[in-house]
Amino acid sequence: MPRKKPGRRAKTTGTDARSKIVRKSKSADARRTKKSRLVTTATLDKIGAVRVATKVDLGSLLGAIGARHPAEFRIPFRRPDDLLICDFVFENLRLSGAAPPKLVRKNPERFATLIVEFPPQSFGEEAFIEQPGAETPPKPPPSPPRPDQIPPPPPEPVPPLPSSRIRMAGRSRIAFTMPAEEKSLEFTLVATLDACRRWPMSLDINAAPDPESSIGGVLGEIFKHDWLAVLVSSENWRQTTDALIGGIGGGDALRQPLADAARRLAFRASQAYSRVIQQQGRVMLDADINEELDVIAKRFAPLRDAERRRTAFGALSLMSASAVAAERGIDFERFKEFPFLPLFFSPHEPAPNVTALELPYRVILSPIPQAAWVHDSTPVTHNSRTELWQTRLTGAPDGIGPDTPTKVRALWSPDYRDRNNPGWNQIIQLANDLKPFRMSLDPFDRLMLVELMSNFTDTTNRRFVPRAARAKRLALSALGALLDVEGSWEHLPKDVSLEQWRHLATLGRDHYVRVVYRGFLCPFQHPASLVKVTERKFESLSGTNRIAVLRQRYFIIVRQPVMQYTGAGHTFGGKNFPFTEVEILTKVTPSLSNPNNSAVDIGTPPSKKSDAPLRARFWPMIGAKDFFFQIAATDLCGDRVTFAMPLLFVGKEVNDEIWATKGVIAAYDAANPARRTGPIGGASVCYAAMKDGAPGDPKLPTETMTFKADGVIGLPAECAQFYPVVDSADVGIAALRRLLQDPQANLAVTYPEAYKNNGFGAGNAGEIFLKALAPFPLQFGANVKSDAIGGVATPDMAIQGLSRIMGPVAAKVGADVETALQNVIGNKFDPADFFADAKILGGVKLAELLKIAASLAGGDVPKFLSRELPDKIEASFDWQTVIKQSDGLGLFVHSAGGPTNFEMHGLVSSPIG
């Protein structure tokens, strides 16, 4: 591809073009003017014409330098007595001609490195799903019995010997820097191993201490604000800078021009930080770096080569960061916003001459400063038995005393991809497809570990700070590593759900690995964690063989059992959800079936959006049966009901993406109603706020309640991005049950739009709070005498809603329920709606005798009422009104000798107990 012509560059004046750069343009669109320092769109377009380097990968730069300048010599070493097997690699070290031979620096001006390479220290071994439901995590809280379930399926079968597939890790290495005060090292094994105890480790610049110190108090705050200053003053930073400058070519003559340019860039970066948003500042400073390199390239030919120019770009970025840290204090929150810092603080593959341990499989770990290695220089023998040689990582000062825990970072993984890279979704797909096979850590697990420990440039969550994991034990040997490491992260970046990791391995073989994924239970929003445990267990195979196989199981821990609901973020303020609090009584589930097998379809991610693993959107199941969570809910009146039902697990990856949240809400709402229904068992539920003296009782005995999930707006990203609502409920109306003398009479209801939008406000003057899904006809059959509500009346009604003012209300059958209830919603009573074809005296229609009432609260509106007394339950039907007109046939005379009062009363009571 032809190289683009550089855009218009700065004119130079004076004798030293390196120290003064004057912009040619001084128009209103210029980036700098005397009156303003704002950046316009036209200016950014102009800057885009300047040659701007793409994102620099520090690992690839250092790797290319290492390839151009391979180590001077390598010595493979094997000691059979204690199986000390490694290769010693020496950089900038040579053998002196004197006797005894010694290692001395080849170039006294450069740092010298001793690298110890070990055989593979870990393995990726195939794991098999454990029998679901067979084992419950230790000490679960007591919970009510779950509904009957079919027997769980057997565990995943293990193939014949050799049982499981396995992959071997690459080589691991520890690098040490020769101290400046040491001029030589005896060329003996004992002296070399002693140097591995004394010399400081050569580490990648991302193998940095945590930005917030564990010291706490004032010292912790000082460390936090000086974090970048501490890094740039470290030996590892200096060595990395020197390696980049040396990789450019041209010797040390380049160092001073680069340092002068770095100071100028640091000044501009400080101004850009306070003047423009991050992306604009990055574009501007990339252009500034290129301009500085253009000036230097006029005097130094190596910078005219594209590859060496990229190396110079990286070196100048590092030196500029050092100058920024020297000029002003930068705390970690502000550190991310400086444009050129992300060039080298994002995850990258470590250089060949720094410490890098592939442990566990395909995860590159590195200790952080202040750690050291402890080992014996000679074989250790007791009772004719020789110990396996090993070197142990410790935080103890000078390696004296018992080994103390140390910090390690996951710097890199071959599975790592940047979030904005399409490869991110490809890694998720590999994890979904279990490729190459099921392991303790899947490819996306490894990606997330690197993101959590080494992505210092993440800006998706300002509260996220990359934190190292804590290693209680880390030892290397010829037979593999011993590892006991644990990491926990409270604040997570976007699309990352891994919140805890525990890894135990012996001789390179995993024997206990726990990965915890953050999520929620849908629809009730409870924070929960999906736990994946891979554990080595002894089993019999083919009756005579004993094997130790990795078994993997999943279970869910409810992190916050009690959730309270205020309607925050919900479109209707939560009016269509009758509970103020829901408690999940099941704190820990038994082992579940493979989550991938019960995942829901949420659609395909839009362009440049992250996908979600299957385990982040699944129905917890045991075999072919849904797992039922035990739930207790408190309604608007403070009454508590219990029920059991399945819940959908929604991982943080889904919750973080708007498209995925919409997809999982649609998938939940479209699920079989049996999965979304909780049996209430006839307990009373308060569906709306109570009102003293109101005839209509919102407390209704409920048989079942079916839920849906709604979206939310404006809630923090840490909260569940869905809200529970009632889809439908089967309720009993006590007054109707008593009047009909049918204790099983239920009405399928839901919340009407008028109530969801207005509550009991102006848009719902009739105080309708529930509507029937289908009209409920009041048919008094042969077993119910009509004199239950007066011998002269034969009621013929269809209940289509419930009002807090008048109780059950009716509308014309056949119309849409919401539309049919408009009279009642508008606080009007039409007898034709309520009674339809009901007759008195055998043939006179009530609807023809009565007029529309202007208010439901008046005495001329019929009321279905019920009340609970200490010894009995009463249900009554009461209506008093005045007949002001005759029927259509003129059979009824309404005004003979004064007004004609119409009264209808009925009372049914049932003793309690």
Name the helix (H) or strand (E) containing 350: none
Cα–Cα separations (whole angstroms), residue 463 to 4, 218, 327, 890: 41, 20, 25, 81
Inter-residue contact 73 to 88 (CB < 8 Å): no
Nearest CA to 377 out of 393, 396, 390 is that of 390
Q: Is the dihedral of CA 418, 422, 426, 432 positive or negative?
A: positive
Task: Please tell me the distance from the alpha carbon of residue 561 to that of residue 583, in angstroms, as a whole number.
Answer: 5
Number of other residues whose CB lies within 10 A of the CB of residue 157: 9
pLDDT(146) > 60: no
**pLDDT, tens only, 222-246:** 445 577 788 888 888 888 888 888 8
**pLDDT, tens only, 691-702:** 876 666 789 999
**494, exposed or middle or buried, with CB in 10 Å at 0-12, 13-18, 19+?**
middle
Inter-residue contact 766 to 803 (CB < 8 Å): yes
Reported as half-sphere exposure (CB side, CA atoms, 13 A), residue 630 has a value of 12
Domain range summary for the chain, segments of one domain joined by +: 207-341, 732-911
What ranges make up the beta strands (E) of 46-136? 73-79, 84-91, 93-95, 102-105, 113-118, 123-125, 127-129
Name the helix (H) or strand (E) containing 274: helix 255-275
**pLDDT, tens only, 810-868:** 766 655 666 656 666 665 666 655 555 556 655 566 665 555 554 445 555 566 666 66
Say which residue, 8 or 472, is predicted with more confidence: 472
Inter-residue contact 52 to 286 (CB < 8 Å): yes
Nearest CA to 630 out of 150, 138, 147 is that of 147
Task: Please tell me the distance from the alpha carbon of residue 568 to that of residue 712, in angstroms, as a whole number.
Answer: 8
pLDDT(11) > 60: no
What SS3 state is found at 630?
strand
**pLDDT, tens only, 280-311:** 555 566 677 788 888 888 888 878 888 888 88
Bridge-based pairing of strands 390-394 and 357-358 is unpaired
Task: Please tell me the distance from the alpha carbon of residue 639 to that of residue 271, in angstroms, as a whole number.
Answer: 61
Q: What confidence score (pLDDT) does residue 780 get?
A: 47
Ramachandran region of residue 457, left (φ > 0), alpha (ψ -120 to 50) or beta? alpha
Nearest CA to 391 out of 167, 707, 172, 705 is that of 172
Q: What confidence score (pLDDT) does residue 850 get?
A: 59
Inter-residue contact 122 to 174 (CB < 8 Å): no
Name the helix (H) or strand (E) containing 221: helix 217-225
Q: What one-letter code names the amino acid at 380?
A: V
Alpha carbon 93 to its chain centroid, in Å, reads: 48
What does the DSSP assignment read for 576-601? Answer: T--EEEEEE---B--PBPPGGGGBPP
pTM summary value: 0.84
Taking 3-state DSSP, the helix, strand and coil percentages for the chain, each rounded to the nearest 5, stand at: 25, 30, 45
**pLDDT, tens only, 520-579:** 999 999 999 999 999 999 988 877 788 899 999 999 999 999 999 999 999 999 999 999
Cα–Cα separations (whole angstroms), residue 122 to 201, 325, 357, 365, 879: 22, 39, 10, 12, 83
Q: What one-letter code names the amino acid at 152?
A: P
pLDDT(485) > 80: yes
**pLDDT, tens only, 87-145:** 999 999 999 888 889 999 998 888 999 999 999 999 999 999 998 875 444 444 444 44
Residues forming a β-bridge with 519 = 528, 651
Provide the percentage of residues in the chain whose pLDDT is more than 90: 47
What is the mean pLDDT of the segment spanning 651-677? 97
Task: Please tell me the distance from the alpha carbon of residue 452 to that of residue 794, in angstroms, as a whole number.
Answer: 74
Core vs surface per residue 123-156: b (16+ CB within 10 A) or e: bbbbbbbbbbbeeebeeeeeeeebeeeeebeebe
Q: What one-letter code names the amino acid at 371?
A: A
Nearest CA to 878 out of 893, 891, 896, 866 is that of 866
